[in-house]
Amino acid sequence: MKTYSAEDVRQGLDWPVLLAALKTAFVEGAEAPLRQHLHVGDAATNGNLLLMPAWQPGRHIGVKLVTVFPDNDQLGLPAVASVYTLFDGKTGAVIGQIDGGELTARRTAAASVLAATFLARTNARHLVILGTGRVSRNLAQAYCAIFAIDKLTLCSRSLDKAQALADELGPIAPNIVTTTDFASAVSDADIVSTATLAKTPIILGELLRPGTHVDLVGSFRPDMREADDAVLSRAGGIFVDTFEGASKESGDVTQPLAAGNLSREGLLADLAMLCRGTHPGRQSETAITAFKSVGTALEDLAAAVALTAADRA
């Protein structure tokens, strides 16, 4: 069994290869039960444990264990920790143990950018990212690798955190701007991507200009939300990575569904439909589009298989 560090994941999964692997996986499909989400904290600790298995019979089996402790920022620690194990689908033998945090951040960013290849304008140039964590870093790198981004705006309530991320990213875009003014940044975006732990909307539909693509990543529980109802209204609905996951797990979908402000028909298509060509995605240059990802074990499996392919060749 080989162990893959976070640096191994970064070096072994370049963005075009990872996007291609995810697209193939969504076209082919896999067995990926809805992740099990357990609260493992107490009155003083907001702790969560996620279990995410997936398999393609006779090919590969994988499972990710994830802990999410949102209050860790007060301790100077990451909110998310995880590990991924990949097995041979024919023998059950362990192939590799992979740093789950970097695998998750990288496949999450790749899934968003894969969706954006169908939903964002091809001439999108200004990318706005809300949030400054590991996923935000990967989102910036992935979008700049696939789209011709010439301005990257990093938004955070802490300007120091935004600047630290800008320094870490280096020259991935000709112009990197940091700001605490979310509204101004969102109103000038071609693509706005959010990777936060917000519980109240930080993107308001009234701020979006025609042609904007909204990429919602952060909300993974019904009490978490990054976009208001006006975003969905102006977009005419929302695209999702998986129907089952988004409609049960994310407040960006569950809350407007419960309030009657979003219908089931408003879930326009999932990522598999986009990858298979059964939905056209963006249909005009002026349309506002919205995509919500909650993550699926299929993405982890595809990324893990792609990462270990060279060692198994």
Full set of structural domains in the chain with CATH? 2-103+298-312 (3.30.1780.10), 109-295 (3.40.50.720)
Q: Is 34 exposed, middle or buried (0-12, 13-18, 19+ CB in 10 A)?
A: middle
Crossing angle of helices 134-146/100-119, nearest 10°? Answer: 40
Q: What pLDDT digit, counting tens, does each position of 68-114 carry? A: 888 898 899 888 889 999 999 999 999 999 999 899 999 999 999 99
- Residues 195 and 129: beta-carbon distance below 8 Å: yes
Confidence of residue 144 (pLDDT cuts 50, 70, 90): very high
Crossing angle of helices 15-28/134-146, nearest 10°? Answer: 90
Say how far residue 233 (Cα) sits from the centre of its chain.
22
Instruction: Using the predicted structure, report yes or no on whether residue 312 has a pLDDT greater than 70.
Output: no
For residue 213, the SS3 value is strand
Instruction: Using the predicted structure, report yes or no on whether residue 247 has a pLDDT greater than 80.
Output: yes
Sheet containing 191-194: give its strands across. 176-179, 151-155, 126-130, 191-194, 213-216, 289-292, 238-240, 267-270
Confidence of residue 232 (pLDDT cuts 50, 70, 90): very high
Instruction: Using the predicted structure, report yes or no on whether residue 159 has a pLDDT greater than 70.
Output: yes
Distance between CA atoms of 6 and 188, rounded to whole angstroms?
34
12-16, 19-23, 73-77, 140-144: least confident range: 73-77
- Residues 37 and 245: beta-carbon distance below 8 Å: no
Give the model's pLDDT for residue 19: 97
Give the model's pLDDT for residue 68: 86
pTM given for the model: 0.91
Confidence of residue 36 (pLDDT cuts 50, 70, 90): confident
Q: What pLDDT digit, counting tens, does each position of 114-124 carry? A: 999 999 999 99
- Residues 139 and 195: beta-carbon distance below 8 Å: yes
Distance between CA atoms of 224 and 251, rounded to whole angstroms?
5
* Residue closest to 78 by CA, chosen among 136, 39, 36, 142: 136
